[in-house]
């Protein structure tokens, strides 16, 4: 019985880690998309292409 309990516990841990990795991957993909979008709009702003920027989109980063 003890081996079975250990196996169940191990499976539960594995599932938890897998779920955490899936959530983390999803967040990373969203962060990457957001960063790409920010860079596109920031580069347009930096290059003076103000017509590419609109109010709905992310505001350009402050000049560094």
pLDDT at 64: 44
CB burial readout 9-19, b (16+ within 10 A) else e: eeeeeeeeeee
Question: Which domain, by its residues, includes 7?
Answer: 2-47
Q: Is residue 25 part of a domain?
A: yes
- In the structure, what pLDDT confidence band is assigned to residue 60 with cuts at 50, 70 and 90? low
Tell which wins on pLDDT, 22 or 64.
22
Report the alpha-carbon distance of residue 3 to residue 20 in Å, rounded: 26
Q: For the chain, how many structural domains are there in total?
A: 1
Whole-angstrom Cα distance, residue 29 to residue 16?
20
Does position 52 have pLDDT exceeding 60, yes or no? Answer: no
Specify if 63 maps to a domain. no
- The pLDDT tens digits for 13-49 are 888 888 989 999 999 999 999 999 888 888 877 777 6
Q: For tokens 């594995």, what's the residue?
A: 14
Determine, yes or no, domain membership for 16: yes
């Amino acid at each position: 019985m003890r081996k079975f309990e250990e196996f169940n516990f191990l499976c539960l841990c594995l599932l938890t880690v897998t779920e955490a990795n899936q959530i983390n991957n999803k967040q990373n993909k969203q962060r990457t998309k957001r960063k790409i979008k920010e860079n596109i709009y920031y580069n347009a702003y930096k290059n003076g292409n103000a017509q590419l920027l609109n109010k709905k989109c992310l505001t350009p980063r402050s000049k560094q």
